Amino acid sequence: MSVIDELAGELSKLPGIGRKTALRLTYHLLKQPRERSIRLARALETLAERVHPCQTCFNPTEDAECAICRDPRRDAAVLCAVEEAADIGAIERAGEFRGRYHVLGGRISPLDGVGPEDLTVSELERRVAGGAVTEVIVATNPSVEGEATALYLQQVLAPHVARVTRIARGLPVGGDLEYADGITIAQALSARREMP
Amino acid sequence: MSVIDELAGELSKLPGIGRKTALRLTYHLLKQPRERSIRLARALETLAERVHPCQTCFNPTEDAECAICRDPRRDAAVLCAVEEAADIGAIERAGEFRGRYHVLGGRISPLDGVGPEDLTVSELERRVAGGAVTEVIVATNPSVEGEATALYLQQVLAPHVARVTRIARGLPVGGDLEYADGITIAQALSARREMP
């Protein structure tokens, strides 16, 4: 296999990049100064070598704890539980939330064989069991699996924390939190309600 | 700048990949085993270090000459001039052409400041001036710049080679007349041939 096919093969494993796009990207890089490919390679290596989940919230970081967990101005009494680390960026861009996060690492989905034990649910339970947390905002996606995950979290967390809230259904049902605009996310946060 | 932003920044320099897609790809890689990122990085480095233009036809290769130029079964008397190396793959997949190639490295475009001296035109002239080439098929894209490049090549190459031909323009096979643009239909009409 040629080097070109090899790179195109690796690129086509990325989501949303098919064989033709992968080849187009490869030929694009061949036309660029080779420093471009080297810089991209270095960034990938650094990502693989230095980034790991935050020991507290599982947000990817280069340190033991992520920047948000280390920030003393962020309210440690309010946690926002999200499916993926990418969702944190979306919520941060909305500029509404001043608490801290917990990355679940997915959502409960029996059809895909994903149960609570595959997520960081027990770690969230342990964080909350300390007693310092007054509210957990469940910000899983407004999908069937996201709602099921929210219900499960509510049952598990209720004994430990005063309030388990769910972001409002201001988000379009079936949508993806990562792609929602900041105003929608801000409204969904401020309209959050107690889970019954 | 964080490692995540750095990789997303490098990825977003690729064509067709915006800031959000770049972030999505980065977070996707973070969820994969780190070997995936390492393999992609290695493929990029190998591309940057080992691949360079074929000394004869400018098709990217790891050797002095590309596999097509080295293949004795390929007819050295017929050259197909293409804008980009990626076009070779498209023509090879058609399985019709048994000659060799010449990668121009773009098309003449005065608006973009691209002249013949920025392409491998003089190298093509030198290849053809040897006298062993009987036909040059100009397979630049059927765009305004592609046509201008074809006309220029015809003028430059005519003194050296018996035939300078242009790939046919017309309706794409499997296409629909109803949705074809007027220029394509006009050319398909004026280039009509007797039915055998």
Mean pLDDT, rounded, for B107-111: 93
Closest to A125 (Cα-Cα) out of A149, A148, A154: A154
pLDDT (mean) for B11-36:
92
Interchain pair B14, A28: CB under 8 A? yes
d(CA B88, CA B194): 30
Q: Which residues in chain A are classed under CATH 3.40.1360.10?
A: 60-194
CA–CA min distance A63, chain B (Å): 11
Range with the lowest mean pLDDT among A33-37, B21-25, B153-157, B187-191?
B187-191
- Please tell me if residue A2 touches chain B, with a CB cutoff of 8 Å: yes
- The SS3 assignment for B136 reads strand
Residue A159 phi/psi, 5-degree rounding, is -65, -20
Q: What pLDDT shows up at residue A93?
A: 86
Q: What is the mean pLDDT of chain A?
A: 90
Q: By C-alpha distance, which of A120, A47, A65 is closest to B29?
A: A47
Is the model's pLDDT at B195 over the cut of 80? no
Q: What are phi and psi of A53, to 5 degrees?
A: -70, 140
Interface confidence (ipTM) of the complex: 0.74
- Chain B: nearest CA to A19, how far in angstroms? 12
A39 touching B (Cβ < 8 Å)? yes
Range B60-194 classified under CATH 3.40.1360.10: yes
Residue of B nearest to A62 (CA): B3
A2 contacts B43? CB cut-off 8 A? no
User: What is the fold, at CATH topology level, of the domain defined by A3-50?
Assistant: Helicase, Ruva Protein; domain 3 (1.10.8)
Distance (Å) from the alpha carbon of B83 to chain A's nearest alpha carbon: 12
- The answer to whether residue B133 scores a pLDDT higher than 90 is yes
Which residue from B minimizes the CA distance to A35? B48
Q: The pTM is what?
A: 0.73
A44 part of contact set with chain B, CB < 8 Å: yes
Question: What mean pLDDT is reported for chain B?
Answer: 90
Within chain B, which residue ranges are assigned CATH 1.10.8.420? 3-50
pLDDT at A173: 65
Give alpha helix (H) positions in chain B: 3-11, 19-31, 34-50, 67-70, 85-94, 121-129, 144-157, 182-190
A60: chain B residues, CB-CB within 8 Å: 4, 27, 30
